[in-house]
Chains A and B, each alone.
Chain A
């Protein structure tokens, strides 16, 4: 079953604009990660935020985590056409196996 739900399901913006994607999840988590997937290919890890962190930055990416609302957001600043991809949040609960539970993803299209 899917743990997270990304919002919106699809987002279309112009190059240079910022893109914000949201993720909600249902159970307590250990970490939350964001992955990117180009059409029909493998997923690439973007950023990990731990449950005791509230915000994290990596280059043009900014992730926030609100554990009280069970939600996270991914902001991509100054978007480029090459950022066009599907973005997934994934949570893990720690413990004896490293199982990631993914949402359904947001399809981001950046128009040149």
Chain B
């Protein structure tokens, strides 16, 4: 049990639609990161938020955006969904510069 919960666990969307994924972190975890994991691959860094500000971004287009809230919750928003966006999306949180605590992920399928 990592104390990081994600919702929903599974989601099916149609190409072109928009999606919001949610994450609730442990109290005291002032960083939250989002990762995308395609089938058979390792997780890829999307972005990190620190104290509610974006603090680093991976190689993902602007249609991937996020928010971090003061109550240790966060969101990942993806606009104009593409088929290649089908993946497991993982939220991870932790104190600064410490090993990450991962949620169980949201499995997104884009048809």
Q: A86-112: contact bitstring with B at CB < 8 Å (1 yes, 0 no)?
A: 001010001011111111110000000
Chain A, residue nearest B102 (CB) = A42
**Counting CB contacts under 8 A, is A24 at the interface?**
no
Selecting from A12-20, A43-51, A64-72, A76-84, the interface stretch reads: A43-51
Q: A96-B56, A97-B50 are in contact. Are A43 and B102 (CB under 8 A)?
A: yes
Point out the residues of chain B lying under 8 angstroms from A99, CB to CB.
33, 45, 48, 56, 58
Chain B interface residue count: which class? Answer: 20 to 34
Please tell me which one of the listed residues B2, B35, B50, B98 contacts residue A44 in the complex, with CB atoms under 8 A apart. B2
Point out the residues of chain B lying under 8 angstroms from A43, CB to CB.
43, 90, 92, 100, 102
Q: A42-B2, A42-B4, A101-B45 are in contact. Are A33 and B90 (CB under 8 A)?
A: no
